[in-house]
């Protein structure tokens, strides 16, 4: 064995031993928790250091709950909302109750981890038995059960005193979150973890700072041992990712690494960046997804054929990451649209709503980082593309050895620990990292959304590796090195940014490039093509005489399609007659050029709706979309000149000044 292999073997052995130690520590804590849960003496035995007898406990003056030391109720009131009462049961699980649930069997179930407690809390006593002849006590009173009504009244009052509680905005499921002071806290299902002064702190689940962290299925907890550079899992991950055949080998592996960090602490972030893996078959997308599953384990919500409802119902209030394979644009359009919308709302943490069968509306809020993989890009809207970093894969070299699998025992917990420690007091370290990468991305031409998406990924990758280690690996993460990303991720070099056109431009392009159904046998089949064929000069400035399509025919055909085509003189002709002004004055008044075409789009038209069928604007919203244009003079809606005859009927239109439209910036 070579010295290098021996060193690697030693590292693996050390990491393996450390993993065993961590697992043993977790097992010991589980045993201790189970031991405490079994501390439930018989109801006839006094409880606590003050030896409190059954039913003789001291009530809190406000809530009415027991206050004696060692006698605390294992069922904790959380609050109320409408007809619902919220508690955490004796197993620390969150429960939603109605008055009808307060039955003998229901209460026994809530106290299932401490079945003797309700008998001690509200004892129901048997009648003493006396000898009829001697009148001597044969069998004293004993506790045989509990008083249902007494416990119901107690919980009702305590929940009411606890106050209004809505799970929609006060529940914190598994994953990373922030406390009120901006520090990071991780909900691992059975415990909460935080870092203070470089030391790990473990807390019980429950209510903290007005937020409920309920007991849930256990996830891997953060690695609590030191992580020196020579065992930093981010180094190994970057090495593994670089073995794939990326179109940008000095960019994409770092962005994917950043997504892993982002996904680990998604709920703590203001913005959660998504990633789209694009590549044909044999590019290794599935293998990459398998490695991510090994890394995240149960933390990752992974599926190849889900629905949006399945995802948000499965996630409940968790902030765990989501990975979806084979999200192709040729699938069910409705399912795809809802899935993409879920990613969109999750990136910012926006609240979504759904109606229930019972008539009760429900809200949901996701704070998960999404990863999609597909052969063809399923994202087209600018608002979706701007939330997603597109990483493109080329076919793998068939002679290349398969990348080593990720260590599923140590990698995830170590990455989580790195991100939590690098977060810094009150999140200052992350904010500083994000600010410097944001500055570099702005210099590279990105808008705010691009800075959020790519800046978050770069900041998280930098936090995982650290500046010095990142620089050694050629990642340009050190101070002042971030300026390299102005060129590496320049907005003009990213197809996803270039294609992320604003809504108004997408609408105009759809109008110009969609086939007109009634022109099936014509020499032209789109409005844009018809207008182009009327040109009288080619790209070199040479005269085209006569034009391929005469203007009269173009105007007639476009009119038949439900639109109007006019020159600028025709647009202002009515104003010239009415106000008795010349052409130049009229054109200046409305900001129109001296020549060129204007396309008139009726604000309401069945033909326009048919032309836009299948698009986001087919329901009549095209006029609002066109008015979103921020460039003055491109779109005109002035009522003095927007009434024109289209297909034999006068109607109000939105006017597109085509020369100005083509000259306007695409972003």
Cross-strand partners of 364: 352
Residue 405 near residue 366 (C-beta atoms within 8 A): no
The full DSSP string for 134-179 is T--EEE---EEEE-HHHHHHHHHHHHHHH-B--HHHHB--SEEEE-
Which tens digit of pLDDT belongs to each residue from 390-447? 999 998 887 777 777 888 899 999 999 999 999 999 999 999 999 999 999 999 999 8
Give φ, ψ of 179 to 5 degrees: -85, 180
pLDDT, position 4:
41
Centroid of chain to Cα 539: 46
Q: Half-sphere exposure of residue 532, counting CA atoms within 13 Å on the CB side? A: 12
When the candidates are 2.30.130.10, 3.20.20.70, 3.40.50.300, 3.30.70.20, the CATH number that belongs to 236-395+407-497 is 3.40.50.300
Residue 479 has pLDDT above 70, yes or no: yes
The pLDDT confidence band at residue 522, using thresholds 50, 70 and 90, is: confident
Q: Beta partners for 372?
A: 276, 324
357 confidence band (pLDDT: 50, 70, 90): very low
- Residue 23, pLDDT > 80, answer no
3-state secondary structure of 474: coil
The residue with greater pLDDT, 20 or 145, is 145
pTM of this structure: 0.77
Bridge partners (DSSP) of residue 352 are 364
More confident residue, 100 or 494: 100
Report the chain's mean pLDDT, rounded to a whole number.
88
Looking at residue 6, its pLDDT comes to 38
Decide which of 334 and 6 is more confident.
334
- Joined tokens for residue 641: 């000149």
Joined tokens for residue 608: 């326009």
**Do residues 217 and 226 touch, judged by C-beta distance below 8 A?**
no
pLDDT higher than threshold 90 for residue 385: no
State how far the Cα of 16 lies from the Cα of 370, in Å rounded to an integer: 30
Please tell me the predicted confidence (pLDDT) of residue 493.
Answer: 81
Beta bridge partners of 652: 643
pLDDT in tens, 208-244: 998 999 999 999 999 999 999 999 999 999 999 999 9
Once rounded to an integer, what is the mean pLDDT over residues 127-151? 86
Q: At what angle do helices 411-423 and 428-443 cross, to 10 degrees?
A: 90
CB–CB of 575/589 below 8 Å? Answer: yes
Give residue 521's pLDDT. 75
CA 474/CA 466 separation, integer angstroms: 12
Residues 6+ apart with CB under 8 A from 297: 219, 220, 408, 412
66 pLDDT more than 80: yes
Most confident region among 76-85, 127-136, 486-495, 498-507 by mean pLDDT: 76-85
Q: Which helix (H) or strand (E) holds 650?
A: strand 649-657
Overall residue count recorded for the chain in this entry? 667
Q: What is the pLDDT of residues 246-264, one digit of tens each?
A: 999 999 999 999 999 999 9
The residues of the chain that CATH labels 3.40.50.300 are 236-395+407-497
If one compares 395 and 187, the residue with the highest pLDDT of the two is 187
pLDDT of residue 13 exceeding 60: no
Kindly report the three-state secondary structure assignment for every residue of 589-648: HHCCCCCCEEEEEECCCHHHHHHCCCCCCCCCCHHHHHCCCCCCCCEECCCCCCEEEECC
Q: Which H helix or E strand runs over 81?
A: strand 76-81
Q: Which residues of 374-387 are buried (b: 16+ CB within 10 A; e: fewer)?
A: bbebbbebbebbbb
The per-residue pLDDT for range 573-601, each reduced to its tens digit, is 999 999 999 999 999 999 999 999 999 99
Using DSSP bridges, classify how beta strands 649-657 and 370-374 pair: parallel, antiparallel or unpaired: unpaired
């Amino acid at each position: 064995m070579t010295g290098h292999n021996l060193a690697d073997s030693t590292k693996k052995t050390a990491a393996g031993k450390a993993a065993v130690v961590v697992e043993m520590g977790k097992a010991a804590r589980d045993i201790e928790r189970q031991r405490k849960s079994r501390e439930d003496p018989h109801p006839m035995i006094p409880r606590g250091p003050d030896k409190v007898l059954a039913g003789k406990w001291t009530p809190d003056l406000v809530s009415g709950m027991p206050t004696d030391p060692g006698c605390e109720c294992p069922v904790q009131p959380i609050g109320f909302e409408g007809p619902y009462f919220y508690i955490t049961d004796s197993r620390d699980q969150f429960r939603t109750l109605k008055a009808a649930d307060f039955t003998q069997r229901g209460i026994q179930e809530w106290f299932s981890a401490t079945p003797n407690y309700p008998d001690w809390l509200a004892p129901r006593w048997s009648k003493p038995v006396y000898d009829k002849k001697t009148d001597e006590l044969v069998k004293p009173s004993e506790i045989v059960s509990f008083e249902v009504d007494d416990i119901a009244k107690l919980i009702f009052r305590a929940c009411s005193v606890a106050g209004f509680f809505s799970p929609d905005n006060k529940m914190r499921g598994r994953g990373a979150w922030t406390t009120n002071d901006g520090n990071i806290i991780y909900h691992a299902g059975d415990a909460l973890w935080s870092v203070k002064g470089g030391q790990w702190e473990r807390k019980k689940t429950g209510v903290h700072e007005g937020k409920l962290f309920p007991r849930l299925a256990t996830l891997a907890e953060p690695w609590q041992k030191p992580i020196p550079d020579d065992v930093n899992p981010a180094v190994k991950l970057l090495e593994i990712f670089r073995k794939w055949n990326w179109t940008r080998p000095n960019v994409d592996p770092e962005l994917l690494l950043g997504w892993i960090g982002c996904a680990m602490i998604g709920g703590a972030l203001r913005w959660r960046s998504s990633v789209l893996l694009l590549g044909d078959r044999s590019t290794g997308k599935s293998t990459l997804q398998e490695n991510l599953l090994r890394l995240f384990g149960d933390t990752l919500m992974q599926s190849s054929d889900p629905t949006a409802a399945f995802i948000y119902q499965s996630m409940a209030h968790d902030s765990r990451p989501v990975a979806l394979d084979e999200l192709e644009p040729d699938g069910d359009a409705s399912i795809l649209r809802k899935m993409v919308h879920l990613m969109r709302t999750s990136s910012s943490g926006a609240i979504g709503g759904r109606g229930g069968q019972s008539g009760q509306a429900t809200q949901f809020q996701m704070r998960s980082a999404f990863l999609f993989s597909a052969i063809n890009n399923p994202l087209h809207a600018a608002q979706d593309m701007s939330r997603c970093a597109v990483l493109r894969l080329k076919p793998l070299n068939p002679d290349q050895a398969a990348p080593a699998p990720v260590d599923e025992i140590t990698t995830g917990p170590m990455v989580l620990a790195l991100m939590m420690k690098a977060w810094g007091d009150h999140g200052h370290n992350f904010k500083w990292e994000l600010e410097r990468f944001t500055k570099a991305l702005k210099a590279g031409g990105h808008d705010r959304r691009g800075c959020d998406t790519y800046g978050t990924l770069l900041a998280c990758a930098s936090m995982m590796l650290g500046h010095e280690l990142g620089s050694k690996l050629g990642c340009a993460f050190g101070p002042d090195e971030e300026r390299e990303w102005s060129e590496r991720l320049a907005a003009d070099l990213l197809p996803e940014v270039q294609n992320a056109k604003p809504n108004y431009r997408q609408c105009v392009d759809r109008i110009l490039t969609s086939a007109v159904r009634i022109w099936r046998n014509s020499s032209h089949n789109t409005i844009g093509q018809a207008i182009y064929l009327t040109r009288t000069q080619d790209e070199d400035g040479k005269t085209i005489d006569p034009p391929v399509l005469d203007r009269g025919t173009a105007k007639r055909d476009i009119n038949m399609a439900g639109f109007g085509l006019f020159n600028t003189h025709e647009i202002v002709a009515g104003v010239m007659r009415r106000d008795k002004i010349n052409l130049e004055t009229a054109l200046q008044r409305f900001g129109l050029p001296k020549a060129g075409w204007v396309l008139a789009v009726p604000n309401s038209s069945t033909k326009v709706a048919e032309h836009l069928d299948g698009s986001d604007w087919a329901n009549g919203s095209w006029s609002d979309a066109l008015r979103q244009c921020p460039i003055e003079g491109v779109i005109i809606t002035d009522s003095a000149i927007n009434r024109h005859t289209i297909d034999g009927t006068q109607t109000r239109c939105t006017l597109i000044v085509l020369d100005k439209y083509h000259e306007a910036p695409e972003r």
